[in-house]
Amino acid sequence: MRFQDLLAYKKGFEVAMELFEVSKSFPKEETYSLTDQIRRSSRSVTITIAEAYRKREYPKYFHSKLTDADAENSETQGWLEYALACKYITQETFDYLTEKSIEVGRLINYMILNPGKFGSKSEN
């Protein structure tokens, strides 16, 4: 299996691309702050999942990278809150993207709790 076939990767990639499109409408003065940060954190979710999967033979590394991916996903949710508070996105867009991000978090958590299903050896 390729890391691109992982459901967490696919869903995370969708969120990152949707955020990329949404963030195109953010004000110019946000280019090097909110726009950059939300794009970086959302993209980092999938890249870190890819890194975890490639190192799945090392259980502690696999777990560590997946928790990093989950942290990046949480960061993305925080940036979404700022985008909503600054009125750069609607409540509907916020709810939609946040729910998709929560789903990604659940998928990452599933990977953390079931490493053997992804080819990672037991830590014991």
Query: Is domain 3-116 classified as CATH 1.20.1440.60?
Result: yes
What tens digit of pLDDT does each residue of 38-54 get?
999 999 999 999 999 99
Contact, 12 vs 46, CB < 8 A? yes
CA 57 to chain centre: 22
What are the extents of the domains in the chain?
Answer: 3-116
| Cα–Cα distance measured from residue 81 to residue 89, given in angstroms and rounded to the nearest whole number | 9
pLDDT, position 121: 77
| Cα–Cα distance measured from residue 1 to residue 77, given in angstroms and rounded to the nearest whole number | 29
| Cα–Cα distance measured from residue 113 to residue 31, given in angstroms and rounded to the nearest whole number | 37
**Which residues does the chain have with pLDDT short of 70?**
122-124
pLDDT, position 103: 98
